[in-house]
């Protein structure tokens, strides 16, 4: 009778399926040695602008896009807004008020906010410009070339930084607040993308971690 050997469980890290190789300063390096810089951009409430301002904003944005001589990616992350902390804040205000009228008004306002969120999906949106760098710009095809990671990052910075600065100037010219995401912000962004929660999570400084950042399920 043949003896069946127990099969050992397959051990695989989640990081095997993640394309990120490293983050150095503000440069995101992928496993195929492509890289990118991510710029978070503030938003303008378009519908609160006058018709003249709307037209001006459209032309300014079109001019920005048409003036770019390099490729960019525009990403929009939408997330259902969590108002639990705001409701707790209102509860605290109600507890502080001694007048019955003020407590009643705050309770009515709280019920109004809850009904608005229940009837309408309130989304929090964040906007990003991604400036990519391809290993083909170095005349290589990626990992098979034997290039060292530090060299690729240095070449990526040389290629990306002038494009980054040019894009920042164009965004400032049309009145949009733009912030280049650094290592800490990028780590938190991807951590929350891969570990979604209602409110998101801020991490300790990434330099303080001595091992892979893990979360329990």
Give the side-chain half-sphere CA count within 13 A for 214: 8
**Can you say whether residue 55 is alpha, beta or left, with left for phi > 0 and alpha for psi between -120 and 50 degrees?**
alpha
What's residue 195's pLDDT? 79
Q: Which two tokens stand for residue 125?
A: 């949106």
Q: Would you tell me how many other CB atoms lie within 10 Å of the CB of residue 23?
A: 21
- Asked if 121 and 94 touch (Cβ cutoff 8 Å), the reply is no
Whether 21 and 29 have beta carbons less than 8 Å apart is answered as yes
For the stretch 110-128, pLDDT in tens is 888 888 777 776 777 889 9
Residue with more model confidence, 11 or 78: 78
Tell how many helices (H) and how many strands (E) occur in the chain: 5, 6
The residues near 73 (Cβ < 8 Å, ≥ 6 apart) are: 129, 130, 132
CA distance 101 to 88: 19
> By three-state DSSP, how is residue 121 classified?
coil
Between 84 and 146, name the one with better pLDDT. 84
Average pLDDT over residues 40-44: 89
Complete DSSP assignment for 2-40: PPPPPPPPP---GGGG--EEEEETTEEEETTS-EEEEEE
Q: What's the rounded Cα separation, in Å, for the pair 182 and 26?
A: 4
Q: Rounded to whole angstroms, how far apart are CA atoms 38 and 122? A: 25
Give Cβ neighbours of residue 84 (< 8 Å, ≥ 6 apart).
Answer: 198, 199
CA atoms within 13 A on the CB side of 43: 13
Q: How far from chain centre, in Å, is Cα 81?
A: 15
Strand partners, 130: 38, 73
pTM value is 0.72
Three-state SS at 144: helix
pLDDT tens profile 56-109: 889 988 999 998 999 999 999 887 777 777 888 888 888 888 888 888 888 889
């Amino acid at each position: 009778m043949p003896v069946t050997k127990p099969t050992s469980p397959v051990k695989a890290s989640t990081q095997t399926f993640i394309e990120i190789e490293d983050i150095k300063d503000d440069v995101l390096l992928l496993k195929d040695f492509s890289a990118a810089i991510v710029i978070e951009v503030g938003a303008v409430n378009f519908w609160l602008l006058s018709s003249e301002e709307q037209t001006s904003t459209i032309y300014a944005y079109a001019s920005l896009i048409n003036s770019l001589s390099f490729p960019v990616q525009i990403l929009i992350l939408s997330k259902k807004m969590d108002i639990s902390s705001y409701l707790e804040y209102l509860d605290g205000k109600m507890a502080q008020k001694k007048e019955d009228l003020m407590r009643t008004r705050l309770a009515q306002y709280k019920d109004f906010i809850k009904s608005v969120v229940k009837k309408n999906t309130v989304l929090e949106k964040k906007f990003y410009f991604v400036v990519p760098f391809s290993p083909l710009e170095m005349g290589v095809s990626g990992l098979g070339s034997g290039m060292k990671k530090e060299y690729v990052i240095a070449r990526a910075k040389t290629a990306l930084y002038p494009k980054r600065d040019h894009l920042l100037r164009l965004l400032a010219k049309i009145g949009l607040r733009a912030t280049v995401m650094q290592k800490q912000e990028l780590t938190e962004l991807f951590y929350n993308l891969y570990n979604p929660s209602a409110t998101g999570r801020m991490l300790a400084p990434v330099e303080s971690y001595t091992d892979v950042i893990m979360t329990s399920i």
